[in-house]
Structure 1
Amino acid sequence: MATVGTGRGARTRRGTAGALPSALTAALLTVLLAAGCTGPGGSADDGRGSTAPSVREPRPSGADGPSVLAVKIGNTPAARPHTGVDAADVVYVEQVEGGLSRLMAVYATRLPESVGPVRSARESDLELLRQFHRPVLAFSGAQSRLLPLIDRAPLEGVTPASSSGAYLRGTDRSPPHDLYLRPGRLMDDPPGRAALTTGFRFGPPPAGGEPEDALTVRYPAARFTFTWSDADGRWPVSMDGVPATTTEGGRLAPATVVVQYVTVRPSDYRDFLGNTTPYTETVGSGRATVLRDGRAYEANWSRPGAGDGTSFTTGDGERMHFARGQVWVVYANAA
């Protein structure tokens, strides 16, 4: 279950990102990952299966239509600070085992030099990504029973085993938090804004809304706070009470934050420790809170089918426009 706190009773002090010990270029060495060499059972992540190694050429620009790059990213304290998340067009936050969280960063207009740390996929990721046209999904591995579903899904899965040259291991962290993707090894160029077939609309804000300083979303074992910054015109992120920064020292700060209330139920899968994996249902309809321009707007969301984008409307049925810039979508349990 996720709970949300808003308003002045939920305010948090605006943090300032401190300088990190080293920049990305010093933190990461270009050490190629040998396929399937970490984790219990020889998997590339946390005891989950993988596929046989092969060589993969970068996707040419425009091949099979515009396709976003989606990267599954770890989000425990040991996985922070993140690399390349600030370049994503959309960042999805979802609950995983033990009440923790993971991120799905989606890239269309920019490809950073590196992204990570890359972690394993979940069943609900397949439904989430159906709103994009044949996305490229970069992930470290998956439970063996889930791999056939990933193979049949309308996406292109890329793991260290299938494309070892696209990944590297950092030297400043321990596995499984040391795996990074090099997007330039998968795509020649970013696919462009047309690949964001999510249903989002960008433009001026609607009338109304309530002034908002901060909003906090709580999972059983994770917490996200978005605090409005007048100076930056964005919502700097804190995770578990700590300012969320990048490996280069910048602050993660989206222009729009969407708290989307959904059904989060147990799936038929468990992790290698035996914990049940939550399934986040992203098809259907419900309510949402949209943060933009220092205000909070109550909205409704709708996604009739898995192949449809997710639309947001105001209480009077008008399309909800987002502020231009990065969007964070935080899935909170409606129950």
Structure 2
Amino acid sequence: MHSFGTRRPGTASALALALLIAALAGCQGGGTTSPPSSPEPSTPAGSRAHVLAVKIDNLGPARPQTGLDKADIVYVEQVEAGLSRILAAYSSRLPPVVGPVRSARETDLELLRQFDRPTLAFSGAQAKLLPAIAAAPLDPLPPEKAPNAYFRGSDRAAPHNLYLRPGRTPHATTGVNAAEDIGVRFAAAVPGGKPVAGRTVRYPAARFTFTWSAERRQWLVSMDGTPARTAEGARLGAADVVVQYVTVRPSLYQDRWGSTSPYTRTVGSGAAVVLRNGKEYDVRWSRPAAGSATAFTTRDGERMTFAPGQVWIVFAQK
């Protein structure tokens, strides 16, 4: 087990013209053409997927979370006091309920630029951050905007009991995987890789351990030393885990208690480790602009491939 530090003529002519226009329109917007292939990671994200991103609580009283196992991508980021919070991206499928829902951070705005105007469900945000959320290229969905979509659960205390019913939101799933929409390629493994039993990512006051299960063909997730489970009691598992080394610096915003929120920089480049099929791969990540997707490449410059299934991306301080 390894550990990280974290698109007026005559009658005949008019008819021909009309037929030509109809043909062109069919080529541009008809349903008989083949869908476009997944965008390359170095290009801006496509518009095939309609992503619902939900900010999810990850403190002890919020566990087990609901609907986390149905996400296409699970992002993990550091927040105040060295703790962690989750941003889950849904597109290929939507669970009936997701939560507990918590507040957004500055990091989320840059991270979500990879997608084509995603919906962001969140419980609220620091007052000075709200104008930035309103100006961002996304559809914000706090409880006051969709009160019928949110509810408070009775099984735990606030603020760890706010849940979202995605079926009551304006969001509609396309069935397209959010990961593929931003360039993740699900395919056979690239050559190389080193067998590994697991990895641990540490934050100042949180840690995540991913342990390979040959039986389940997944990386079983543990949080703060405890096996992570679904609301139904099953173990949480990921097909792939990316530990992405990034710069984490103080943001311009503070929480209600005066603590400065960390800001995770996801534009740039650096090292990363990909876990798939019981092996680890040393890779590079690159995202030249906020409107670009993140490319993961091997040390030989080949595009990294991923095992089909849920992808966890854990941001660790480099």
Q: TM-score, normalised by structure 1?
A: 0.80
Aligned to 2:216: 232
* Matched-pair contact (CA < 8 Å) for 2:72–2:177: no
Q: Does 1:103 align with 2:101?
A: no
Q: RMSD across aligned C-alpha pairs, in angstroms?
A: 1.3
Deviation track 1:283-333 (CA, whole Å, cap 9, x = no partner) reads 000010000000000000001110111110000000000110000000000
TM-superposed CA distance for 1:219, in Å, is 0.1
Question: Residue in 2 aligned with 1:184?
Answer: 167
Q: Does 1:130 align with 2:79?
A: no
User: Structure 1 CA distance, aligned partners of 2:135 and 2:199?
Assistant: 38
User: What count of residue pairs does the alignment treat as equivalent?
Assistant: 274
3-state SS of 1:235 partner: strand
Q: Does 1:309 align with 2:293?
A: yes
**Structure 2: how far apart are the matches of 1:65 and 1:199?**
12
Q: 1:131-173: per-residue Cα shift (whole Å, max 9, x none)?
A: 0000000000011111111001000000111110010110011
Q: C-alpha displacement at 1:201, in angstroms?
A: 1.4
Partners of 2:275 and 2:49 in 1: how far apart?
Answer: 29
Q: Are 1:80 and 2:63 an aligned pair?
A: yes
Check the 8 A contact 2:183/2:293 in 1, yes or no: yes
The runs of at least 4 aligned residues of structure 1 exceeding 4 Å deviation read: none
- 1:319 aligns to 2:273 (yes or no): no
Matched, 1:259 2:243: yes
- For residue 243 of structure 1, the aligned residue among 217, 227, 230 is 227
Name the larger-Rg structure: 2
3-state DSSP of counterpart to 2:237: coil
Work out whether residues 133 and 195 of structure 1, in 8 Å CA contact, stay in contact via their aligned partners in 2.
no
Pick the structure with more helix per residue. 2
Cα 1:243–1:257 change in 2 (3 A) is same
TM-superposed CA distance for 1:199, in Å, is: 2.4
Structure 1 residues not aligned, in runs of 5+: 7-63
Deviates more, 1:237-246 or 1:181-190: 181-190
Counterpart CA distance in 1 for 2:288 and 2:169 is 31
C-alpha deviation, 1:182, in angstroms: 0.3
- 1:189 CA displacement: 4.0
Letter in 2 for 1:103: I
1:5 aligns with 2:9: no
Gaps of 5+ in 2: 5-46
Contact 2:72 2:178 in 1 (8 A): no
Residue of structure 2 in register with 1:271 after alignment: 255
Shift of 1:206: 0.8
The answer to which of 178-187 and 108-117 deviates more is: 178-187
TM-aligned CA deviation for residue 65 of structure 1: 5.8
1:187 Cα deviation from its structure 2 partner: 4.4
The answer on whether the counterparts of 2:90 and 2:178 sit within 8 Å (CA) in structure 1 is no
Distance 2:254 2:110 in 1: 18
- For 1:135 and 1:214, locate their aligned partners in 2 and report how far apart those are by CA, in whole Å: 32
